[in-house]
Structure 1
């Protein structure tokens, strides 16, 4: 797993919009990334995509009760891997409301632990705002049907919690392509 000493300069994404296509074994998920609202997060996502950080990386967590998210972005598939750096929260909703189609960063308990893990919100979800919330840095523009199929299949039966664990329908990131959208 590649490791980096520091996050990229947020100026590389500031004020820009990007389109990303996450190629998975279940189909393509297309995203719009908002560098105006979350420049550090988008700069990090773009760099990790360009460095093939997520190549052949399983999405390791699905939640199906209360929280409706599919979490990806850890090449180890364990939920504890990261790119070697962290940074702070950007563009987190004050009310904790994350609409369906939201793309946000996962983090540890501390607010400066954003890194390489992210999650898709497949159904409107309220997340805790303690510690600052979670950085919204984009939205799904195509592929919500894929997320719905993964969610409908539920959590792996070997999970200790039937509503939170590895997805029963395995989904892995094969590659990620990112291009800047021109105005």
Structure 2
């Protein structure tokens, strides 16, 4: 299973943040002030999503159906040992991503999983969704990015971690302070104010050993994910 990574280079602080055993670093695309944003590049452009199988599933789950089954705004609540985190998912903009997340939640894939990564410098995220807790775990399938190049990552953003273009699986990250990242990570939801505060309280304790990037000093476990 490829390592799901969330990475960025920050010249101002000379800091390279990688997750797990990352072997590649996404780079920002060239800027073009003349080009208008395009419609989201999505696997559902033809009305269907593709979830090709991969080896090394971390848990026994079934891939979502090719036809998106959710639309509009979808509510999700992550119940964690640190508190509840409510998220509004955007199934119209990112139908394949939300379809996968909802399917995994309904199969209890996330139940009992630890949020394995916290970053406290350069980018400010809590990363979750890997049953193995190693940064390498996934659901046994992948799916394409749903991007249009205009993605930004302010506080409250929920987005997919990946191992390069079109390698989404189950890992996602919660942004607790505005973060500068290239538009390479599919944004599929937003935390509410109370949920954002829960993540900020987790971040305030820091990562293990005072590191800028590592497991949260206070372990955080997703006990369940409720949809609707």
Partner of 2:171: 117
4+ aligned runs moved over 2 Å, structure 1: 1-10, 94-97
Shift of the 118–98 alpha-carbon distance from structure 1 to 2, 3 Å rule, reads: same
Q: TM-score, normalised by structure 2?
A: 0.71
Structure 1 gaps, min length 5: none
Preserved CA contact (<8 Å) 1:7 1:86: no
**Out of 19, 24, 27, which is 2:83 matched to?**
27
Count of matched residue pairs: 170
Indicate the larger mover: 169-178 or 4-13: 4-13
Partner of 2:104: 48
Query: RCO higher in 1 or 2 (8 Å CA, sep ≥ 6)?
Result: 1
Partner of 2:207: 155
Preserved CA contact (<8 Å) 2:116 2:215: yes
Preserved CA contact (<8 Å) 1:5 1:85: no
**Out of 168, 171, 179, which is 2:217 matched to?**
168
Q: TM-score, normalised by structure 1?
A: 0.87
Partner of 2:163: 108
Name which one, 1 or 2, has greater alpha-carbon Rg.
Answer: 2
RMSD of aligned Cα (Å): 1.6
Q: Name the SS for the 1:138 alignment partner.
A: strand
Partner of 1:12: 69
